[in-house]
Amino acid sequence: MLKLEMAMALIIKAFAPYVGTDGTVQSLNKWEMRVLLEKKLPGFLQSRRDKEAMDKLLKDLDANGDTTVDFSKFIVFVAGITSACHSYFQ
């Protein structure tokens, strides 16, 4: 597998275990998203521990207003923070 293919597979594998704890198998609710971020991106949440920050993050991701983060929204989030990190480290 090429590096980009491995990165894609890792993103999919990072998302999958956190989906469905509330019965929905295609998206994350606010609690599931928080758990995913705490486990997979603990540094990201260090400065965003409060409830308001998580609510704002979900609102920003939730363009259609369904109060969930599906895989497409998750990819937008990952791409956004990856881009910000790339810009920061250049």
Contact 27, 19 (CB under 8 A): yes
Q: Does domain 3-89 correspond to CATH entry 3.20.20.70?
A: no
In the chain, domain spans: 3-89
**pLDDT tens digits along 18-63:** 998 777 778 998 889 888 988 988 877 665 555 676 677 777 888 8
- Record the tokens describing residue 35, joined without a space: 């758990």
pTM of the model: 0.78
Question: Computed from CA positions of residues 39, 28, 30, 83, in that sequence, does the dihedral angle turn out positive or negative?
Answer: positive
To which H or E segment does residue 28 belong?
A: strand 27-28
